[in-house]
Structure 1
Amino acid sequence: MWLFIMKNKYLKRVIDDILEERLEMIGAIVIEGPKWCGKTTTAEQHAKSVLKLQDPDKSKSYMELSEIKPSALLEGETPRLIDEWQMAPVLWDAVRTSVDNLNDVGLYILTGSTSVNESEIMHSGTGRINKLIMRPMSLFESKESNGKIAINDLFNSPDMDIDGIRSELSIEELIFASCRGGWPDSLNKKTKKAQLFIVSNYLDNICESDVSTVDGVKRDPQRVKTILQSYARNISTLVSDETLMKDIQANFANISKPTYYSYIGALTRLFVINNVPAWNPNIRSATAIRSSSKKEFIDPSIAVASLGLTPETLLHDLNTFGFIFENLCIRDLTVYSSLVDGKISYYRDKYGLEADCVLHLKDGRYALIEFKLGSSGIEKGAKNLIKLDNLIKKHINEDKLNIKEPSFLAIVTGGELAYTRPDGIKILPVGCLR
């Protein structure tokens, strides 16, 4: 089932529907996300005129004009796309002012590969500009998941029949998809080697230039690689920053805490790092519930490339791939739930009770989810989910907690068959989800 897409054929993204809807609601949309995830290509599907600030033939003139008369850069048929707008942060206020003056919706789409320092913006844009985060492609968007089970449908119909639905994704294909990542350009390549090269080249660009140009602070490329390697070795864990620093200091003994956080901050602004926050539902004492963030990347392929791993090595090291698989699942669930403003956190306490993922919807509903690559871990994951579910229900009844019961419990696997267990827990192959 190796997938090769014809060059220049646009594959619809989940964010397309969100963008189309929001353009009918508000004056301007900002699409942020990592480089090469498809922001510009997607935005072009909705724009009627385009301004690319990185155009080498015109960039200098654009920068000069942004200082003299930024409103001139907004002239064009709407929706007008302004690509890499963060190169001229003054455009934010120009867009906000234009939206006020024109008093209309769907006027501008701004795309950017770095989050902007808020101090460079005079006004927040509240009520005029809406931000969207775009991630690399999910398995459904790359046509590798058959999408027969919609996560949002499970919220609306927790008792829906999923028994017998099958994933066509083999373990070899799942590993390759994780190594290749969700980078759209990789799907245009004819060979597996060329597809894998995309993320390797992406990583080199981040380390050699982007991590320094993001805020003008010169950073050592080798140190960036070392930090990413340490992060990758601890992917999907709650390792502390202090532990990561000790790991990094084995190669760079002189790294200080401010320097470490400067590098982490830059990688976060570039949307390379995508940590998962903790969930605290007040069912334990505050000291019992873990509160540190779980270490993740925006795409699992970054961890693979940072460690120099290959599909072949991971096929013979499924323990390591299990952590990478969790990052893949988090990426995909985040994309699928974005249609309903979904958010992801995790739960873990000092008594060993955990849920790898708590998927929250804006209306207060949520699901408890575990990630298990193979069938051997399903029973343990199910016991954890049931214990946590019972604890939540107990406190709702006894303490009148202001939270709902989970909409459903699920285990996302790398397996083939979807089904509902006798205890009600959904077993969901990642290759069936959308």
Structure 2
Amino acid sequence: MAYHRRIIDETLDELLPDLAAVALEGAKGVGKTATAGQRATTVLSLDDPAQRQVLAANLDLVTQVPPPVLIDEWQLEPAVWDRVRRAVDDGPTGGRFLLTGSAGAGADARIHSGAGRIVSLTMRPLAFSERAIEAPSVSLRALLAGGEPPVAGASNLRLSDYVEEILRSGFPGIRNLPERARRAQLDGYLARIVERDLPDNGVVVRRPAALRAWLAAYGAATATDATYTAILDAATAGEPDKPVRQTVVGYREHLQRLFVLDPVPAWEPVFAPLQRLTRTPKHHLVDPALAARLVGIDASGLLRGDAGSVVPATGTWLGALFESLVTQSVRTYAEAAEARVGHLRTKNTDREIDLIVERGDGAVLAIEVKLAGTVDDRDVRHLNWLRDRIGDRVADRVVITTGEFAYRRRDGVAVVPLALLGP
């Protein structure tokens, strides 16, 4: 199959000539190997038992083969990380190593040990613009730069199309399968997490059904900041024998290391004028299609407005999944622009903004997500509140919708259909 460039390719084009080693981290199936392979002269695949055995017997092999060297699934032979780090210390020539994998037990310490030598980049499932459905006409980077750039364009997508994209997923190897095969692959992906990936990383899963129930409850809490106690209670409703808190915390930490959980942290501004902000993250799985499969809902159920939500939240669950779809793309675009993403909520919940994209200098792009094609004054009130509070630090204000047109309101807020937003 022909390779289709990803947004992270531009980052790699810029960084790799000057950096000796780059690690592409992310959940399984997001396309790390295909992207890294475009730049490799030598590929060492550690999920191949023969290659893994050879490398384990001779770690120096990584310095003896022609560079750039791609070491795929490096976490299966953890000592290779330290060998690459030492090789970078010995000769920091750019473009020598690419490592791909999903960090597992103990990997945090290794990644920390490589700080300054091995640069880690996170890769996620396909952002909306990478799906080649429509050409984006509005750049997140331009919005983040400030100055309220012109916003225009028209989209042919409607709500049902976005529902289809939620269910198809952003996993390149899954999304184009026939519908039944796609569902089977997503189910298999979830089963592998419980039955193989966690045990392979040293996690003993004594009650797989209980872990699966907790994952379903977490998926149902998508785009909320529900407490972990509420999620556990939802997962074990009516069961007297609940997993102990320490067990659940362990599962959660490992699932996050494997990039299966991808929560959005609460925004903590680098300046002081905003007080009483919550520090609770918003819950997201790496792809909203996984949440839909865990809860067991299809397109007709989402369009009917079936609750689906195990953890109560405002709005519809389809709205939460759409917000997760938007978040998946915004995080990819923001990372390409060297910006970080958080969410804003005051402790008394009277103010909330779905996504805050912050530049290194503290300027922010404030984003609300709306599952509708129209926007009224009520939808932008929190965006305008933030501008009133911090003034010019707000580079721009945006509402992302399922509508047809991209435009600016009279108050300057940009209204952009998701399909028209790009990096």
Is this a same-fold pair by TM over 0.5? yes
Counterpart of 2:40 (choices 26, 47, 62) is: 47
Give the superposition deviation at 1:271.
0.5
Greater than 6 Å deviation, 4+ residue runs: none
Find the partner of 2:253 among 261, 265, 270. Answer: 265
Q: Which amino acid aligns with 2:68?
A: P
For residues 3 and 170 of structure 2, the distance between their equivalents in structure 1, rounded to whole angstroms, comes to: 14
Deviations 1:333-353 (A, max 9, x none): 011122122211011111511
2:94 alignment partner in structure 1: 105
What is the CA–CA distance in structure 1 between the aligned matches of 2:255 and 2:379, rounded to whole Å? Answer: 32
Select which of 53, 59, 62 maps to 2:52: 59
| C-alpha RMSD of the superposition | 2.0
State the partner residue of 2:355.
357
Q: What is the TM-score of this pair, normalised by structure 2?
A: 0.91
CA contact (8 A) 1:86 1:116 kept: no
- How many Å separate the matches in 1 of 2:215 and 2:87? 41
Which residue, out of 299, 309, 315, partners 2:297? Answer: 309
2-side partners of 1:328 and 1:121: how far apart?
31
2:244 corresponding residue in structure 1: 256
Q: 1:122 to 1:314 in 2, by over 3 A?
A: closer
- The question of 1:278 aligning with 2:266 is answered yes
Cα displacement string for residues 97-129 of structure 1 (whole angstroms, at most 9, x for unaligned residues): 112222311100000122452576397223321
Q: Which runs of 5+ in 2 are unaligned?
A: 307-315
SS in 2 for 1:243: helix
Moved more, 202-211 or 176-185: 202-211
Deviations 1:29-80 (A, max 9, x none): 00100001100011101111100011134433433x1xxx311244311110
Contact kept in structure 2, 1:147 and 1:431, CA below 8 Å: yes
Q: Give the count of matched residue pairs.
A: 409
Residue 36 of structure 1: aligned partner: 29
The CA distance in 2 between the partners of 1:47 and 1:82, in whole Å, is: 9
Q: Which amino acid aligns with 1:346?
A: H
1:154 maps to amino acid: L
Q: Is the 8 A contact 1:43 1:81 kept in 2?
A: yes
CA distance in 2, matches of 1:366, 1:73: 42
Percent of aligned positions with the same letter in both sequences? 29
CA contact (8 A) 2:18 2:93 kept: no
SS in structure 1 of the partner of residue 60 of structure 2: helix
Runs of at least 5 residues in structure 1 that lack an aligned partner in the other structure: 1-7, 394-403
| Deviation larger for 358-367 or 225-234 | 358-367
Q: In 2, distance between residues paired with 1:363 and 1:196?
A: 43
Decide whether the 8 Å contact of 2:342 with 2:356 is kept in 1: yes
Aligned partners of 1:122, 1:204: CA distance in 2, in Å?
A: 27
- Could you tell me the TM-score, scaled by structure 1's length? 0.89
Residues 129/119 of structure 1: CA separation in 2 closer, same or farther (3 Å cut): closer
For 1:390, the aligned partner's letter is D
1:291-345 CA-partner distances (Å, limit 9, x unpaired): 1111111111111111111122112128211000011111000111221222110
Counterpart in 1 of 2:191?
204
Question: Aligned with 2:128: secondary structure?
Answer: coil
Question: What's the counterpart of residue 151 of structure 1?
Answer: 140
Residue 413 in structure 1 maps to residue 406 in structure 2: no
Q: SS in structure 2 opposite 1:258?
A: helix
Residue in structure 2 matched with residue 430 of structure 1 by the alignment: 418
